[in-house]
Structure 1
Amino acid sequence: MSALRAPAYAPSRPTTPARRTRLTALDGGRAEGRRFAAVRAPLQARTATPFLVLCGALLAAALLTVLVLNTSMAYGSYEMSRVQGQSNRLAQDIQIKQQSLQAAENDLARRAERLGMVPNAGTQMLDVSAAVAATTPSAEAGQ
Protein backbone atom coordinates (compact mmCIF):
# COMPACT_ATOMS: atom_id res chain seq x y z
CA MET A 1 0.00 0.00 0.00
CA SER A 2 1.20 3.39 -0.74
CA ALA A 3 1.22 6.39 1.50
CA LEU A 4 -0.36 8.65 -1.03
CA ARG A 5 -3.49 10.38 -0.05
CA ALA A 6 -6.59 10.77 -2.09
CA PRO A 7 -7.27 14.22 -3.46
CA ALA A 8 -9.34 16.45 -1.18
CA TYR A 9 -11.82 17.45 -3.84
CA ALA A 10 -14.53 15.29 -5.29
CA PRO A 11 -14.74 14.83 -9.04
CA SER A 12 -17.34 17.09 -10.50
CA ARG A 13 -20.58 15.54 -11.72
CA PRO A 14 -22.77 17.03 -14.36
CA THR A 15 -25.60 18.75 -12.54
CA THR A 16 -29.10 18.98 -13.88
CA PRO A 17 -30.95 22.16 -13.17
CA ALA A 18 -33.69 21.81 -10.60
CA ARG A 19 -37.23 22.01 -11.89
CA ARG A 20 -38.60 25.44 -11.23
CA THR A 21 -42.17 25.98 -10.25
CA ARG A 22 -44.22 28.49 -12.12
CA LEU A 23 -44.42 31.78 -10.23
CA THR A 24 -47.17 34.34 -10.56
CA ALA A 25 -47.36 37.82 -9.16
CA LEU A 26 -49.83 38.61 -6.42
CA ASP A 27 -52.10 41.60 -6.57
CA GLY A 28 -50.34 44.78 -5.61
CA GLY A 29 -47.09 46.14 -6.91
CA ARG A 30 -46.75 49.06 -9.24
CA ALA A 31 -49.94 50.90 -10.01
CA GLU A 32 -50.58 54.06 -12.01
CA GLY A 33 -50.63 57.20 -10.00
CA ARG A 34 -48.80 55.86 -6.98
CA ARG A 35 -45.88 57.72 -5.76
CA PHE A 36 -43.94 54.96 -4.03
CA ALA A 37 -43.64 51.88 -6.26
CA ALA A 38 -40.11 50.76 -5.62
CA VAL A 39 -40.97 47.29 -4.32
CA ARG A 40 -42.35 44.62 -6.63
CA ALA A 41 -45.09 42.31 -5.48
CA PRO A 42 -43.82 39.01 -4.06
CA LEU A 43 -43.99 35.96 -6.29
CA GLN A 44 -46.14 33.02 -5.24
CA ALA A 45 -45.58 29.44 -6.38
CA ARG A 46 -48.63 27.72 -7.92
CA THR A 47 -48.95 23.96 -7.73
CA ALA A 48 -51.06 21.58 -9.81
CA THR A 49 -51.89 19.33 -6.84
CA PRO A 50 -55.53 20.47 -6.32
CA PHE A 51 -56.26 20.01 -10.01
CA LEU A 52 -54.73 16.52 -10.02
CA VAL A 53 -56.67 15.55 -6.89
CA LEU A 54 -59.91 16.79 -8.49
CA CYS A 55 -59.22 14.82 -11.70
CA GLY A 56 -58.42 11.68 -9.71
CA ALA A 57 -61.58 12.04 -7.63
CA LEU A 58 -63.73 12.50 -10.77
CA LEU A 59 -62.13 9.47 -12.40
CA ALA A 60 -62.64 7.32 -9.30
CA ALA A 61 -66.28 8.45 -9.01
CA ALA A 62 -66.91 7.68 -12.69
CA LEU A 63 -65.36 4.22 -12.40
CA LEU A 64 -67.34 3.46 -9.23
CA THR A 65 -70.57 4.60 -10.91
CA VAL A 66 -69.92 2.39 -13.93
CA LEU A 67 -69.15 -0.56 -11.66
CA VAL A 68 -72.39 -0.12 -9.70
CA LEU A 69 -74.47 0.27 -12.87
CA ASN A 70 -72.89 -2.77 -14.50
CA THR A 71 -73.43 -4.89 -11.39
CA SER A 72 -77.07 -3.88 -11.07
CA MET A 73 -77.70 -4.52 -14.78
CA ALA A 74 -76.15 -8.00 -14.50
CA TYR A 75 -78.24 -8.78 -11.40
CA GLY A 76 -81.38 -7.58 -13.21
CA SER A 77 -80.55 -9.74 -16.20
CA TYR A 78 -80.14 -12.86 -14.07
CA GLU A 79 -83.34 -12.09 -12.17
CA MET A 80 -85.27 -11.58 -15.43
CA SER A 81 -83.92 -14.85 -16.84
CA ARG A 82 -84.97 -16.70 -13.68
CA VAL A 83 -88.48 -15.23 -13.74
CA GLN A 84 -88.91 -16.01 -17.45
CA GLY A 85 -87.88 -19.63 -16.84
CA GLN A 86 -90.33 -19.89 -13.96
CA SER A 87 -93.07 -18.34 -16.13
CA ASN A 88 -92.40 -20.85 -18.92
CA ARG A 89 -92.59 -23.78 -16.47
CA LEU A 90 -95.89 -22.47 -15.06
CA ALA A 91 -97.32 -22.03 -18.56
CA GLN A 92 -96.39 -25.63 -19.39
CA ASP A 93 -97.99 -26.86 -16.15
CA ILE A 94 -101.19 -24.93 -16.94
CA GLN A 95 -101.29 -26.36 -20.46
CA ILE A 96 -100.81 -29.92 -19.18
CA LYS A 97 -103.55 -29.48 -16.55
CA GLN A 98 -105.94 -28.00 -19.12
CA GLN A 99 -105.34 -30.96 -21.44
CA SER A 100 -105.97 -33.44 -18.63
CA LEU A 101 -109.15 -31.54 -17.64
CA GLN A 102 -110.38 -31.60 -21.24
CA ALA A 103 -109.68 -35.33 -21.46
CA ALA A 104 -111.55 -35.92 -18.17
CA GLU A 105 -114.56 -33.93 -19.42
CA ASN A 106 -114.63 -35.92 -22.65
CA ASP A 107 -114.37 -39.21 -20.74
CA LEU A 108 -116.98 -38.29 -18.08
CA ALA A 109 -120.04 -39.60 -19.95
CA ARG A 110 -118.35 -42.94 -20.76
CA ARG A 111 -117.22 -43.40 -17.15
CA ALA A 112 -120.74 -42.60 -15.87
CA GLU A 113 -122.27 -45.25 -18.18
CA ARG A 114 -119.71 -47.76 -16.98
CA LEU A 115 -120.86 -47.09 -13.41
CA GLY A 116 -124.49 -47.71 -14.45
CA MET A 117 -125.67 -44.11 -14.49
CA VAL A 118 -128.24 -42.91 -17.03
CA PRO A 119 -128.74 -39.39 -18.38
CA ASN A 120 -131.44 -37.37 -16.66
CA ALA A 121 -134.43 -36.45 -18.76
CA GLY A 122 -135.55 -33.51 -16.63
CA THR A 123 -134.50 -31.55 -13.62
CA GLN A 124 -136.56 -31.52 -10.46
CA MET A 125 -136.40 -29.05 -7.61
CA LEU A 126 -137.23 -29.78 -4.01
CA ASP A 127 -138.94 -27.17 -1.90
CA VAL A 128 -137.93 -28.13 1.61
CA SER A 129 -140.24 -25.72 3.38
CA ALA A 130 -143.33 -27.01 1.54
CA ALA A 131 -142.00 -30.57 1.10
CA VAL A 132 -143.01 -30.52 -2.57
CA ALA A 133 -141.04 -31.68 -5.62
CA ALA A 134 -141.37 -29.38 -8.61
CA THR A 135 -140.14 -29.86 -12.15
CA THR A 136 -138.53 -27.13 -14.19
CA PRO A 137 -140.59 -25.47 -16.94
CA SER A 138 -138.42 -26.93 -19.69
CA ALA A 139 -139.11 -30.46 -18.44
CA GLU A 140 -142.89 -29.76 -18.26
CA ALA A 141 -142.93 -28.42 -21.79
CA GLY A 142 -141.16 -31.52 -23.09
CA GLN A 143 -143.71 -33.95 -21.53
Structure 2
Amino acid sequence: MSASTAATARAARPAELPRTRRAPLTAVSGGAAQRGSRLDVVRAPLRSKSRVPFLVLCATLMVVSLVAVLVLNTTLARGSYEMSELQGEVAQTAQDVQGLQEDLSAAETSLPDKARSLGMVPAENPTMVSLRTGKVVRGTDR
Protein backbone atom coordinates (compact mmCIF):
# COMPACT_ATOMS: atom_id res chain seq x y z
CA MET A 1 0.00 0.00 0.00
CA SER A 2 1.25 3.36 -0.77
CA ALA A 3 1.25 6.29 1.62
CA SER A 4 -1.63 8.03 -0.15
CA THR A 5 -3.88 4.97 0.05
CA ALA A 6 -3.09 4.50 3.76
CA ALA A 7 -4.01 8.14 4.43
CA THR A 8 -7.23 7.72 2.48
CA ALA A 9 -8.10 4.58 4.42
CA ARG A 10 -7.53 6.35 7.74
CA ALA A 11 -9.65 9.29 6.61
CA ALA A 12 -12.46 6.95 5.50
CA ARG A 13 -12.64 5.26 8.92
CA PRO A 14 -14.81 6.98 11.47
CA ALA A 15 -13.01 8.56 14.30
CA GLU A 16 -12.59 6.07 17.12
CA LEU A 17 -14.33 6.92 20.35
CA PRO A 18 -12.18 6.99 23.43
CA ARG A 19 -12.46 3.78 25.40
CA THR A 20 -14.05 4.11 28.80
CA ARG A 21 -13.60 1.58 31.51
CA ARG A 22 -16.73 -0.35 32.51
CA ALA A 23 -17.70 -1.12 36.07
CA PRO A 24 -16.91 -4.68 37.10
CA LEU A 25 -19.80 -7.17 36.98
CA THR A 26 -20.97 -8.47 40.32
CA ALA A 27 -23.54 -11.08 41.33
CA VAL A 28 -26.88 -9.82 42.59
CA SER A 29 -28.64 -11.53 45.47
CA GLY A 30 -31.20 -14.13 44.31
CA GLY A 31 -29.30 -14.71 41.15
CA ALA A 32 -27.99 -17.90 39.62
CA ALA A 33 -25.02 -18.01 41.97
CA GLN A 34 -27.27 -18.79 44.94
CA ARG A 35 -29.67 -21.13 43.15
CA GLY A 36 -27.05 -23.01 41.34
CA SER A 37 -26.44 -23.06 37.67
CA ARG A 38 -29.90 -24.42 36.93
CA LEU A 39 -31.68 -23.13 33.82
CA ASP A 40 -35.12 -21.59 34.21
CA VAL A 41 -38.03 -22.34 31.92
CA VAL A 42 -39.03 -19.36 29.83
CA ARG A 43 -42.47 -18.99 28.34
CA ALA A 44 -42.60 -19.25 24.56
CA PRO A 45 -43.29 -16.01 22.71
CA LEU A 46 -46.95 -15.26 22.09
CA ARG A 47 -48.30 -16.28 18.74
CA SER A 48 -50.83 -14.29 16.81
CA LYS A 49 -54.43 -15.33 17.48
CA SER A 50 -56.11 -17.73 15.13
CA ARG A 51 -58.62 -16.36 12.64
CA VAL A 52 -60.75 -19.49 12.74
CA PRO A 53 -63.26 -18.23 15.37
CA PHE A 54 -63.79 -15.03 13.40
CA LEU A 55 -64.34 -16.97 10.17
CA VAL A 56 -66.77 -19.32 11.92
CA LEU A 57 -68.69 -16.31 13.26
CA CYS A 58 -68.87 -14.73 9.80
CA ALA A 59 -70.02 -18.00 8.20
CA THR A 60 -72.65 -18.47 10.91
CA LEU A 61 -73.98 -14.94 10.41
CA MET A 62 -74.21 -15.51 6.67
CA VAL A 63 -76.09 -18.80 7.08
CA VAL A 64 -78.49 -17.31 9.63
CA SER A 65 -79.19 -14.30 7.41
CA LEU A 66 -79.80 -16.51 4.36
CA VAL A 67 -82.22 -18.71 6.33
CA ALA A 68 -84.03 -15.60 7.60
CA VAL A 69 -84.40 -14.26 4.05
CA LEU A 70 -85.68 -17.66 2.87
CA VAL A 71 -88.28 -17.83 5.66
CA LEU A 72 -89.37 -14.24 4.98
CA ASN A 73 -89.69 -14.89 1.25
CA THR A 74 -91.71 -18.08 1.84
CA THR A 75 -94.03 -16.31 4.26
CA LEU A 76 -94.63 -13.44 1.83
CA ALA A 77 -95.34 -15.89 -1.01
CA ARG A 78 -97.84 -17.81 1.13
CA GLY A 79 -99.53 -14.53 2.11
CA SER A 80 -99.74 -13.54 -1.55
CA TYR A 81 -101.48 -16.83 -2.46
CA GLU A 82 -103.94 -16.43 0.41
CA MET A 83 -104.63 -12.82 -0.61
CA SER A 84 -105.36 -13.76 -4.23
CA GLU A 85 -107.65 -16.59 -3.06
CA LEU A 86 -109.57 -14.22 -0.77
CA GLN A 87 -109.86 -11.65 -3.55
CA GLY A 88 -111.42 -14.34 -5.75
CA GLU A 89 -113.92 -15.17 -2.97
CA VAL A 90 -114.78 -11.47 -2.58
CA ALA A 91 -115.37 -11.14 -6.32
CA GLN A 92 -117.60 -14.25 -6.32
CA THR A 93 -119.59 -12.93 -3.33
CA ALA A 94 -120.02 -9.53 -5.04
CA GLN A 95 -121.39 -11.30 -8.15
CA ASP A 96 -123.78 -13.33 -5.98
CA VAL A 97 -125.01 -10.17 -4.20
CA GLN A 98 -125.51 -8.39 -7.52
CA GLY A 99 -127.49 -11.35 -8.88
CA LEU A 100 -129.70 -11.45 -5.78
CA GLN A 101 -130.33 -7.69 -6.02
CA GLU A 102 -131.40 -8.11 -9.64
CA ASP A 103 -133.76 -10.94 -8.63
CA LEU A 104 -135.21 -8.73 -5.86
CA SER A 105 -135.80 -5.78 -8.17
CA ALA A 106 -137.41 -8.08 -10.74
CA ALA A 107 -139.69 -9.52 -8.04
CA GLU A 108 -140.69 -6.01 -6.87
CA THR A 109 -141.70 -4.95 -10.37
CA SER A 110 -143.70 -8.11 -11.01
CA LEU A 111 -145.36 -8.18 -7.54
CA PRO A 112 -148.46 -6.05 -8.42
CA ASP A 113 -149.14 -8.20 -11.50
CA LYS A 114 -148.88 -11.43 -9.48
CA ALA A 115 -151.18 -10.00 -6.78
CA ARG A 116 -153.87 -9.08 -9.37
CA SER A 117 -153.60 -12.53 -10.92
CA LEU A 118 -154.30 -14.02 -7.48
CA GLY A 119 -157.39 -11.79 -7.11
CA MET A 120 -155.99 -9.26 -4.68
CA VAL A 121 -157.03 -5.61 -4.82
CA PRO A 122 -155.23 -2.54 -3.45
CA ALA A 123 -156.46 -1.39 -0.03
CA GLU A 124 -158.37 1.86 -0.03
CA ASN A 125 -157.58 2.92 3.52
CA PRO A 126 -154.83 0.74 5.07
CA THR A 127 -154.48 0.51 8.83
CA MET A 128 -151.12 -0.13 10.53
CA VAL A 129 -149.71 -0.41 14.03
CA SER A 130 -146.85 1.95 14.92
CA LEU A 131 -144.09 -0.01 16.56
CA ARG A 132 -142.72 3.06 18.34
CA THR A 133 -145.88 4.12 20.04
CA GLY A 134 -147.99 0.95 19.83
CA LYS A 135 -151.01 2.88 18.44
CA VAL A 136 -153.12 2.05 15.41
CA VAL A 137 -152.42 4.41 12.58
CA ARG A 138 -154.53 4.82 9.45
CA GLY A 139 -152.74 5.10 6.11
CA THR A 140 -154.04 8.60 5.56
CA ASP A 141 -152.76 9.80 8.98
CA ARG A 142 -149.15 9.21 8.18
Question: Which bin holds the TM-score, normalised by the shorter protein?
Answer: 0.5 to 0.7
Matched residues, number: 95
Contact 1:123 1:136 in 2 (8 A): yes
In proportion to residue count, which structure has more strand?
1
- Structure 2 CA distance for aligned equivalents of residues 81 and 125 of structure 1: 50
Alignment partner of 2:107 out of 104, 107, 130: 104
Question: Per chain length, whose mean CA-contact separation is higher, i.e. which structure has more relative contact order (CA < 8 Å, sep 6+)?
Answer: 1
Aligned residue in 1 for 2:93: 90
**4+ runs of 1 displaced by more than 3 Å?**
none
Contact 2:125 2:139 in 1 (8 A): no
RMSD: 2.5
Find the structure with the greater CA-based Rg: 2
TM-score under structure 2 length normalisation: 0.60
TM-score under structure 1 length normalisation: 0.59
Unaligned runs of 5+ in 2: 1-41, 130-135
- State the secondary structure of the residue aligned to 1:118: coil
In proportion to residue count, which structure has more helix?
2
Alignment partner of 1:136 out of 120, 132, 138: 138
Note the alpha carbon deviations across 1:7-58, whole angstroms, 9 max, x for none: xxxxxxxxxxxxxxxxxxxxxxxxxxxxxxxx89713242110111011001
Aligned residue in 2 for 1:44: 47
- Structure 2 CA distance for aligned equivalents of residues 119 and 97 of structure 1: 27
Unaligned runs of 5+ in 1: 1-38, 127-133
Aligned residue in 1 for 2:133: none
Aligned residue in 1 for 2:61: 58
Contact 2:126 2:138 in 1 (8 A): yes
Aligned residue in 2 for 1:80: 83
